[in-house]
Amino acid sequence: MNPLAADLDHILDHTRPLWDELRGGRLFITGGTGFFGCWLMESFLWANDRLNLKSDATILTRSPDSFRDKVPHLARHEAVTVLQGDVRTFGFPSGTFSHVIHAAGESSQNLDETQLTRMLDTIVGGTRHTLEFALQAHVKKFLFTSSGAVYGKQPTDVESISEDDSTEWHLPDRIDLASIYREGKRLSEMECKVFGQTNDLETKIARCFAFVGPYLPLNAQFAIGNFIRDGLAGGPIQVKGDGTPQRSYLYAADLAIWLWIFLFHGQSCRPYNTGSGQAVSIADLANTVAKRIDPPVKVEIHRTPQAGQKAERYIPSVKRAQSELGLQTWVGLEEAIDRTILWHGRKQER
C-alpha cells in the first residue's frame, strides 16, 4: 500500500471535479524529480488511476537513473515517460500536450559565487525554453512555480506580504546570491506574462514560500527539514541563529491541492502567494519538532536574541488564493510535522 494513501485521498477529495479537464490529455513537468515534482506526480497518478483519466505525463530530468532509484513506483508507471535533458536545452518531445508545470530551477543555496551565470540561465533560460516548448506543443495552460523571494526582504513591521506589495523594499548593495535568485524569478514571471499575453497560452504563477512534508530533503537549506533530521538522529535539534525569525509552513498535500487548482482555475498572468499565513518563530518550530519526536529531544539555540531587535519575517498573505479560489490550510503544523516524521522514519527503517 502507498504510505501516502491518506494524503493522496485528501488531495483527490479537494480536486476531484477538476481532473476531467486532463482526461485523455498529456502533462509535461519540469523539476518532476524534486519535492514539488514528486508530490505532483504522486497526486496526478493517484487521480489518473482512480478516475480512469487515461492521461499520461512526461517528466524532464537530468538523471533518469537517479529518478528511477529515488521513486521507482513513479518512474515505472505505465502513464509516465521519463525524458532526459537540461531544462535550458532539452529536445522538445513530439506531439501536442495539454498542460505544462514548470517546477525546475536552481536553489540559491546550491551554488557558490562562481556559478551565478548558471543559476540565472537555469532559472530564466529554462523558463523561456519551456515556454517555447509549450507554444510548439499547443499547450493551453502553463504553471510556473516562482518564489516569495521576488518580494525582497520583508520589512519587520509588515505582518505578511501580499501580491500587491512593493518589490523594492530591499535593494542589495552588491550582486549576491540572494539577489540573483530573486531577479531570476522576477524575470521568469515576466517571461510568463509576455508569453501569456501575446499567445493563446494561459500562464499561471505560484509564488511559493515554505513547506513541510514527505520528500522534503533533510540535509538541505530547509530549517524544518534539518530539525526533523536532528530529531530522528536522537537530538539535540540545532538552531544556528537566535531563533527569532518568523516563518510559516504549508503541508505538502495542501501544496499539491493549491498547485493543481492554480493550474486548472487560476487567473492567467496573475501571481498567487502559495504557503501558510500562520507565523511561527524558528525557536518555537524547533521546540514543536522536538516534542513530536518519540522520545522527545532537546533543542540547542546557539545565539541570544538582542534586546529591542524586531524579528525578521518571511510570511505570505494568502487572502487572494483564499478569496478567489477557496484555498486554505487543511493540515495544521503539528499534524504536518507528525506525518513528515512518520514518513522519514519509515524510510530510514528500510
Instruction: With a cut of 60, say whether residue 85 has pLDDT above it.
Output: yes
Q: What is the pLDDT of residue 292?
A: 97
Q: What is the pLDDT of residue 113?
A: 59
* pLDDT band per the 50, 70, 90 thresholds, residue 172: low
pTM of the model: 0.95
- Residue 187 has which C-alpha cell? 524575470
Q: What's the half-sphere exposure (Cβ side, CA atoms, 13 Å) at 106?
A: 26
Please give the residue that has the higher pLDDT: either 340 or 310.
340
* pLDDT band per the 50, 70, 90 thresholds, residue 136: very high
Q: Compute the Cα dihedral for 263, 269, 275, 276 and give only its sign.
A: negative
DSSP letter string, 69-134: HH-HHHHT-TTEEEEE--TTTPPPPSS--SEEEE-----TTS--GGGHHHHHIIIIIHHHHHHHHH
* pLDDT band per the 50, 70, 90 thresholds, residue 107: low
Q: What is the pLDDT of residues 26-39, one digit of tens each?
A: 999 999 899 999 99
Instruction: With a cut of 90, say whether residue 177 has pLDDT above it.
Output: no
Q: What is the pLDDT of residue 176?
A: 60
Q: What is the pLDDT of residue 346?
A: 81
Instruction: With a cut of 90, say whether residue 169 has pLDDT above it.
Output: no
Q: What is the pLDDT of residue 331?
A: 98
Distance, in Å, from the CA atom of 50 to the CA atom of 47, rounded to the nearest integer, reads 5
Mean pLDDT, the chain, whole residue set: 92
* pLDDT band per the 50, 70, 90 thresholds, residue 152: confident
Asked if 272 contacts 164 with a C-beta cutoff of 8 angstroms, the reply is no
For residues 302-326, average pLDDT:
93
Superfamily of domain 5-212+250-275+316-332: NAD(P)-binding Rossmann-like Domain (3.40.50.720)
Any bridge partners for residue 30, and if so which? 60, 102
- Residue 118 has which C-alpha cell? 548558471
Please give the residue that has the higher pLDDT: either 129 or 310.
129
Domain ranges of the chain: 5-212+250-275+316-332
The beta-strand segments (E) located in 125-276 are: 141-147, 202-208, 211-212, 237-239, 246-247, 250-251, 271-274
